[in-house]
Amino acid sequence: MRNFKAQIAIAFVCVILGVMISIQLKSVKRNDAVQSKQFQRADELQLELSKEKEKNENLYKQLLQYEKDLNSYEKQFSEKNVIAGALKQRLDQAEILSGLTAVEGKGVVAVLNDSKLKNEGSMAVDENYFVIHDEDILMVLNELADAGAEALSLNDERLIATSEIRCAGATVSVNNNRYSTPFTIKAIGNPDTLEAALNLRGGVVDILKQWGIEVSVKKSNKIFIPRYDGYINFEYAVPVKKGGGDQ
């Protein structure tokens, strides 16, 4: 009788044990399935992304072709017509200014790299002083613009009126693309003036070198600056009609 009681008690616990084991097995199986589904989803998205990228590339090629055609039409037309010729000249200037066409010419190339100074021991200060920030880059670019640079690029990303240079974690965001060190700044303009502007005593390069940030400025006779590749869409800005713009 006593043994029977024991068996009933053990059976009772066994029921609970069985319920727990089967539910747990079910849950583990299900959770694994959920996880593998997530991986699958990531794979799908990856595939979609690469497809979109390919499409994008093809469209870009098409765009280049259209622009080539457009250029040849413009050329043909301007050769025939004096007014059209003048307009074409203005258009070319506007394209350089807006960054819609690649340019080349004399200028300087400045390469900025993080400090390699050792920051340790009792003299250790904030690590942040030893890495390049968006502000440092902006300082250099501003100096170059002041010295008469006609076209600027950062890591071959053409800087236009709407370009941003902004801290994005460990990287710097330019034209919505992210770049990390080293930063190569190209500027087209009078090479001597541009170089002198950067190397002023107490100027930008001096300030950056205090922290050991490596700055090299080189003059060059031929610098190529690519065009702006991004999408241009003016949603809010509308040109003011000539003559009606005065308040």
Partner 1 sequence: MIPIIGLLVGVIIGILVPYHIPTQYSPYIAIAILAALDSVFGGITASFQGKFNIKMFISGFFGNAILAAMLTYIGKKLDVDIYLAAIIVFGTRLFHNFAIIRRFLLNKYLKSDNI
Least distance from partner 1 to the Cβ atom of residue 25, Å: 8
Q: Which lies closer to partner 1 via its Cβ, residue 23 or residue 207?
A: 23
Token match 């469209």: residue? Answer: 59
Least distance from partner 1 to the Cβ atom of residue 235, Å: 45
Least distance from partner 1 to the Cβ atom of residue 61, Å: 47
Q: What is the CA radius of gyration of the chain?
A: 31
Token match 């006609």: residue? Answer: 150
Q: Which lies closer to partner 1 via its Cβ, residue 32 or residue 79?
A: 32
Kindly state the number of chain residues that form the binding site for partner 1, as judged by CB under 8 A.
Answer: 27
β-pairing, 214-225 with 151-154?
unpaired
Q: Which lies closer to partner 1 via its Cβ, residue 13 or residue 240?
A: 13
Q: Determine the 3-state secondary structure of 20 from DSSP.
A: helix
Tokens of 49: 């992304």
Query: Cis omega before residue 226 (within 30°)?
Result: no
Residues 10-69 that bind partner 1 (CB under 8 A): 10-24, 26-28, 30-31
Q: Which lies closer to partner 1 via its Cβ, residue 20 or residue 167?
A: 20
Least distance from partner 1 to the Cβ atom of residue 18, Å: 2
Instruction: Choose which of 1, 3, 125, 234 interacts with partner 1 (CB under 8 A).
Output: 3
Q: Which lies closer to partner 1 via its Cβ, residue 8 or residue 124?
A: 8
Residues 221-240 that bind partner 1 (CB under 8 A): none
Q: Which lies closer to partner 1 via its Cβ, residue 29 or residue 218?
A: 29
How many residues are there in the chain?
247
Instruction: Please report which residue ranges of 100-168 form alpha helices under DSSP H.
Output: 134-146
Answer yes or no: are the C-beta atoms of 117 and 211 closer than 8 Å: yes
Q: Which lies closer to partner 1 via its Cβ, residue 23 or residue 49?
A: 23
Residues 156-195 that bind partner 1 (CB under 8 A): none
Q: Which residues make beta-bridge pairs with 12? A: none
The upper half-sphere exposure of residue 193, i.e. CA atoms within 13 Å in the direction of its Cβ, equals 13
1 binds partner 1 (CB under 8 A): no
Least distance from partner 1 to the Cβ atom of residue 45, Å: 23
H or E element that contains 190: none
Residue of 90, 112, 79 whose CA lies nearest to 214: 112
Residue 58 CB neighbour total at 10 angstroms: 10
Q: Which residues bind partner 1 (CB under 8 A)?
A: 2-3, 5-24, 26-28, 30-31
